[in-house]
Structure 1
């Protein structure tokens, strides 16, 4: 929708279910450094303080979050105000203000609309002055017709093409303004897709617009500037792909237009800019090959490494045929950076212990009545640079948090068939539905139906909250579940320094590599470490080979190939490929990541099969009743005796829990020699029968077949697995997201905690 419609930009407009929210400039900070926070609220003031998150919520009503206030120089009352967001991607072209010269011009580009009848204007190219009195604009109107508009003061002229714009087809356009001849001309041709009759049209209209001497200092692709309530934004975003935009400071004749339509180069002295979008894929740079060095910049992360008009299907990697990937896919709901003003900063004291923290925000209830409203902006504190590594390292699955950031899968209703509980949306979910400007997750689709391939942390992530009640699990998931593990580790460390814990994020491991893991006796994962980059996988593999130990305390881990941008560490990328449990498919030819060139999809098909790495891999998902585990013969092997110390031989493990009622549930992983589980690995225990809400994962099926539920398919299960690695390394995997919810049962006094504690004690001591 257009930003000028209603309250699209107003994050906390009156009547919203949330009155205050915000985000941090980073999710991890070292003790001794500073972290900045960006806050928006409808109240005139708010109170802020810093708290340490001591554990997770055991109450499904989200009323018992354990926290400890931390002295902070940013604590106190602060002035409140609403912060606005400007979503939608576009290109910024640094053309000189006098690029038109005498006022004549030709603008050419190729484009493929993905939402031609969006119900609002969509701008392909716009060049004008700051006041909007002089303008050259190429846009798709509300009815899906392409038009050229030229404005010179109070005089305006326009022309519209008769070519019907069709979703996904490629079109060539050459738009000219001739002040001497007194006309506008629009040449449009459809270049791809079967046509009943050839779609090529030349439309002309009279024009008395005089742009001689006009200073058009603001030139954009895929958007145009607007003023809303006294503030300036980019609006009327184009949904679709744009290829090779170029501008000339004169009118091209018919032969030159025909040459350009045929793919030829037209390079007169009047060439102002010529953008090759088939280069610099991992950056925001738009390369100008005109020789004028007017390199542009992409804003709000439109998608790169996408097929362009010349893609013939023979190459599926942009590095092999970059000229076939010379386009950028723009979306009106792209968001890389909310760009809110900094509200406050905390200088983290050097002696701050590592762990999970949050900026707690509080405002009075509506009209000063009722309970106060509270929000938490979570972040993690690392030890200062140069600190000796602690025995235990907790790896925060921050790439997974980012992948799920502000997901809205509940809108599809599909998951309800897999849920034992009634779906209940949290206030944060209700807010996300009302506000596209908080951005989408890698599980969602854009307005035009294409999959969201990039996700940023520079925005409010409302479902990344320690007090967030997850609609899918009916209780906690992701961060709120990982706090159960962190709370447990914290309690052990408080009693014995042998269990001292360091905390780092996926982003840290991706950036710093193997040296980040070196020196730690054991690495402990979160409950759902699903998204891993190749650098992370290489680092973990090297760590294990060098004698490191891993406790994989989650499910559906090491699943999706993930990339992060070197110049924009806040942004991650995923291409879904054409297999795996997913919410959208990557389009043909668009499986390679723009950030790294990695082939997207499952790690299973890209060199790191989870079973080979950690013994188990994704088997099933469902949100029916979770189950406990029964021990298998391997559990009585002397190699694994330490795991079950203090348990009876036939004791069911984890037939209880805060999430779905058991330790094996949500997304679960299985042991499998067929997929590379090491031959010497021990399958210690397996889940009791899961119901038919749990279905086999899609990549396990070669063809459709009945009988794929938990009561019929023996592959629908979770397996506890243990194996050693030559050189002193070892891996213990639980293969279930729900394990964390059972770990915390009865104040960590239960057999899941006992098994987990036995393994940690052995791994730390060895």
Structure 2
């Protein structure tokens, strides 16, 4: 049964008074919702604690707002500049590409296309319903297809070329594996056919559709926001191109061997290795052809991946960029839902720094779209650093539901599911966490907050343990600060990554959250510099300063992670794909880059268990005069043997 829902997200997580923030809402079962800006004090509804506490705030955006269910385009793909008119599908042509498919049997997929499925017009080089490389053309009434003689093998680099001779009406396809000892799932010792060629004469002359060129998909039906992208491809695509003539077997063989395509008749040549710098590579796919028909990645196709010619010697794109032309596409990737804004708010000048939300209500449905307000200039001696990078890493984790028996064994708890867990299961388009896998089994390495995030809600409880986790757990620190009467400012990981130590320097002490696990180099540098200069950090969590992450300066809402071959991990990056495209840094855990958390805070994560929580015990060094003042007012050597999270202060 499809559950009714009301949800949304903000376009920014961290704002100051005077900033504009936009809210995107989607829902079904009602036409309107009531909006109320609230300040959040505590989230956990456990009756043994303070309960849920929010304070309503006067705001110009409060009131009724129209809502509708908004469409989300999932899947990563490459959109090519222009309307595709330069590619005359009715004339002679050759399409070619290097491909490494991860799900060849999932159904029809586009590789290089100018194809409209609703109108059955255009040309597509792709994979057909039988899992074979194919080319198909359409004139709006009939479709002609020719496919390879053998099914496409998964995770094996293959060169594919398709041509159409407008004079003779001949449609042709040529495929050939491109395998060395390193680049594919199988090695050259495994017998396989070396080459497949097929051709046929057809009376169908392709007619140009009213759509442009795509890599890794083709155009489908209009679903309320323009034509959708269907036929989404899973796997990698390396260099590809189009000629406005039929290339000879000799010319195709030269391209397969790594030579530049011949200039005669060249329309486009998308060189996936162009654009690398020491700081990584962006979403633009460079066309080295005469018309500069560049591609632009949607939903963040993954760059800095090994290509068809990877030799296995160099594990970083900086050393041999010509071997890192692979771009990985996933049919379930989502970086930005790109919903239409439902309302916006200019944060009032008199708003106090803190944790806020736009509360949405309609009928029995309620949601909180959380954001954080920092001051225009620091106003307090204490800063509460909200670990938003870790919120992103765990955003919409699905592994708990997909691997319930294993999770229950690890946590020693029976899953406790709530409506939001079922809702998340019904909405794959809201994306996954860095603990999940894509549909093709590859790990999720990009996480974003421009989508609904179920765990970024004050009342959320973790299904595997039945307790607050990440953001809802950090709200207990906010409540403690409020109850003690401390003046404090709220800042976020996003602010720290952008501003460095300047973000921390004004404060005498910085409080960290309950699980500040994910840290960029800029964040770690700033924390270290702040402490070295005499600042103080109250590290109130565990498993902190663990994974390396990266953010683009102009896109703080998207984080990249590469999980490597050590550490407590849900997946592992493939050989040669350990360096992040975002900034060129090596991924993995900070310990393996010479910066274990013990060097910063004196303690670090070594093991885990979630069956019960334990108290703390004072160690002999805690009585040293230099630090004993920390325990003033603590009467016992054992403390924290109680609490709302499984009966103790430490263990989650």
TM-score under structure 1 length normalisation: 0.80
Q: CA deviation at 1:651?
A: 4.0
Cα deviation per residue 1:105-134 (whole Å; 9 max; x = unaligned)? 00000000001111x211111114697353
Paired residues of 2:267 and 2:290 also in contact (CA < 8 A): no
Please give the alpha-carbon distance, in whole angstroms, between the structure 1 residues aligned to 2:532 and 2:622: 24
CA contact (8 A) 1:394 1:525 kept: yes
| Unaligned residue ranges in structure 2 (runs of 5+) | 180-186
Partner of 2:13 in structure 1?
27
C-alpha distance 101-117 of structure 1, shift in aligned 2 (>3 A):
closer
For 2:112 and 2:55, the matched residues in 1 are separated by 53
1:98 aligns with 2:86: yes
Alignment CA distance shift 1:27-1:60 (3 Å): farther
Matched, 1:430 2:422: yes
Displacement of 1:553 in angstroms is 0.3
Residue 386 of structure 2 aligns with which residue? Answer: 396
Question: Deviation string for 1:157-183 (max 9, x for gaps)?
Answer: 210111331111000011001121111
Q: 1:111 to 1:644 in 2, by over 3 A?
A: same
Q: Which residue of structure 1 lines up, in the alignment, with residue 233 of structure 2?
A: 238
**Shift in Å at residue 90 of structure 1?**
0.5
| Structure 1 match to 2:266 | 271
1:152, distance to aligned residue in structure 2 (A): 2.1
The verdict on how the C-alpha distance between 1:640 and 1:201 changes in structure 2, with shifts beyond 3 A counting, is same
Matches within 5 A, 1:521-540: 521-540=508-527
CA distance in 1, matches of 2:206, 2:442: 39
Match of 1:203 among 198, 207, 229: 198
> What is the deviation of 1:46?
1.1
Counterpart for residue 215 of structure 2 = 221
CA distance in structure 2 between the partners assigned to 1:423 and 1:46 by the alignment: 32
Distance (whole Å) between structure 2 residues aligned to residue 552 and residue 18 of structure 1: 40
| CA distance in structure 1 between the aligned counterparts of 2:116 and 2:460, rounded to whole angstroms | 46
1:249-290 deviation line (CA, Å, top 9, x unaligned) = 111122212222222222233111111112335311001112
The answer to whether the 8 Å contact 1:429/1:463 transfers is no
The answer (yes or no) to whether the contact 1:389–1:519 under 8 Å persists in 2 is: no
Equivalence map 1:469-618=2 (5 Å): 469-492=461-484, 495=485, 499-618=486-605
Aligned residue for 1:368? none
Q: Does 1:406 align with 2:396?
A: yes
Determine the structure 2 residue equivalent to 1:259. 254
Residues 135 and 162 of structure 2 are in contact (CA less than 8 Å); yes or no, is this contact kept in structure 1?
A: yes
Question: Contact conserved, 2:71 with 2:223, CA < 8 A, in 1?
Answer: no
Instruction: Write the mapping of 1:666-705 to structure 2, written as runs, cut at 5 A.
Output: 666=652
Tell me how far 1:228 sits from its aligned partner.
4.8
Alignment of 1:69-108 (within 5 A): 69-94=56-81, 96-100=84-88, 103-108=91-96
Q: Which structure has more RCO (C-alpha within 8 Å, separation ≥ 6)?
A: 2
In structure 1, the partner of 2:125 is 138
In 2, Cα distance between the equivalents of 1:509 and 1:388? Answer: 14
Contact 1:126-1:224 within 8 A present in 2 as well: yes
Return the alpha-carbon distance in structure 1 between the equivalents of residues 584 and 202 of structure 2: 47
Displacement after TM superposition at 1:190 (Å): 1.2
Q: Secondary structure at the match of 2:606?
A: strand
1:646 maps to what in 2? 633
Give the match's secondary structure for 2:638. Answer: coil
Out of 433, 438, 447, the position equivalent to 1:446 is 438
- Change in Cα spacing, 1:94 to 1:216, as seen in structure 2 (3 Å) is farther
Which has the larger displacement, 473-482 or 230-239?
230-239
Q: Name the counterpart of 1:659.
A: 645
Give secondary structure in 2 for the equivalent of 1:247.
strand
Relative to 1, partners in 2 of residues 1:61 and 1:634: Cα closer, same or farther, differing over 3 Å?
A: closer
Change (3 A) 1:203 1:512: same
How far apart, in 1, do the equivalents of 2:159 and 2:551 lie?
Answer: 34
Q: Return the alpha-carbon distance in structure 1 between the equivalents of residues 510 and 163 of structure 2.
A: 63
Is the 1:394–1:501 Cα contact (8 Å) retained in structure 2?
yes
RMSD: 1.9
Aligned residue in 1 for 2:333:
334
Contact 1:472 1:623 in 2 (8 A): no
Query: Which residue does 2:286 correspond to in 1?
Result: 287
SS in 2 for 1:627: coil
Q: Distance in 2 between matches of 1:160 and 1:57?
A: 58
- CA 1:60/1:322 → structure 2, altered by over 3 Å: closer, same or farther? farther
Assess if the C-alpha contact under 8 Å between 2:109 and 2:217 holds in 1.
yes
**What's 2:456 paired with?**
464
Cα distance in 2 for partners of 1:598, 1:275 equals 25
> Map of 1:93-132 to 2, 5 A cutoff?
93-94=80-81, 96-100=84-88, 103-118=91-106, 120-128=107-115, 132=119
Number of corresponding residues: 635
Question: Could you tell me which residue of structure 2 aligns to residue 744 of structure 1?
Answer: none
CA distance in 1, matches of 2:412, 2:97: 52
User: How much does 1:85 deviate?
Assistant: 0.5
Distance 1:116 1:321, change over 3 A: same
Shift of 1:216: 6.3
After TM superposition, the structure 1 stretch with the greater mean CA deviation from structure 2, 323-332 or 25-34, is 25-34
Q: Which of the residues 146, 153, 172 maps onto 1:185?
A: 172
SS at match of 2:523: helix
Q: Provide TM-score, normalisation by structure 2.
A: 0.94
In structure 2, relative to structure 1, the CA distance for the partners of 1:258 and 1:641 (3 Å cut) is closer
CA contact (8 A) 1:113 1:168 kept: yes
